[in-house]
Amino acid sequence: MNPDRRTQAERSAATREAVVRAARELFGQHGYGAVSTVAVAEAAGVSRGALYHQFSEKRELFEAVFEDLERDLVQVIGAAVGRARAADPLAGLIVGCLAWLEASTAPEVRRIALLDGPAVLGWKLWREIELRHTIGLVENALAGAMAAGRVRRQPVQPLALIIVGALDEAAQCLANSDDIEADTPAIRSVIEQLISGLALEVHRDM
């Protein structure tokens, strides 16, 4: 019986993955409101019943898509931070923040994470999911910078929350921009100055 159970679990997992992958592509291209569950099921190659066996409603499916997108973003940003942090922990934090900002301009991220996310899930749940995936990266980068003497020691979590909040506002600004290409350099500069201002040398000069 165990092999049969594992096979059924594997089939269910494969169906879920196919549905999430298809929904992510469609939501990213057309937006949540313009995509039906019928379209998602057809794109995933499953029946509508199989889709609803995995997700009771379209909103639940969107939440799974958002989680999937956030996991991918964390991997991309984490890799960028890791490469830069080896040379300078504070530089790693700056690189990570700018990588986050750059990723937010991708059409799929812009549509799912920034435009539809808060509207479909509500701000509270949207923020909870985002923080669950991203706050650890920022806290670890800050803790590393403090341990290396690059940033003054202080409570890490409040500072990380403020940085994430600033990045969210910057990303939302770009997501709603009529000219992302023109607005991006100025916003990148502001974020870079904000993080650079945490350098311990700045505090000593004050």
Domain total for the chain? 2
pLDDT band at 200 (very low <50, low <70, confident <90, very high): confident
* Same structural domain, 69 and 132: yes
pLDDT for the residue numbered 201: 61
Q: Answer left, alpha or beta for residue 31, where phi above 0 means left and psi between -120 and 50 means alpha.
A: left
* Same structural domain, 88 and 41: no
pLDDT for the residue numbered 6: 63
* Same structural domain, 105 and 89: yes
Q: What CATH number is given to the structural domain containing 111?
A: 1.10.357.10
Average pLDDT over residues 47-70: 97
Instruction: Give, as one character, the DSSP assignment of residue 33.
Output: G
* Same structural domain, 127 and 182: yes
* Same structural domain, 7 and 89: no
Residue 161's Cβ-count burial label (10 Å; 0-12, 13-18, 19+) is middle
Residues 149-155: contacts with CB within 8 Å, 24+ apart?
Answer: 149/200, 150/88, 150/89, 150/90, 150/199, 150/200, 151/89, 151/90, 151/198, 151/199, 151/200, 152/198, 152/200, 152/203
pLDDT for the residue numbered 139: 93
**pLDDT surpassing 50 at residue 84:** yes
**From the CB of residue 180, how many other CB atoms can be counted at a distance below 10 Å?**
15
pLDDT for the residue numbered 132: 93
Chain-wide mean pLDDT for the chain?
91
CA distance 59 to 63: 6
* Same structural domain, 31 and 105: no
* Same structural domain, 62 and 46: no
> Percentage helix, strand, coil, to 5, in the chain?
85, 0, 15
- Segment 151-185, tens digit of pLDDT: 999 999 999 999 999 999 999 999 999 999 999 99
Q: What CATH number is given to the structural domain containing 7?
A: 1.10.10.60
- Segment 10-54, tens digit of pLDDT: 999 999 999 999 999 999 999 999 999 999 999 999 999 999 999
* Same structural domain, 112 and 98: yes
What is the Cα 131 distance to its own chain's centre?
9
pLDDT for the residue numbered 17: 97
Which residue range forms the structural domain that includes residue 135? 58-205
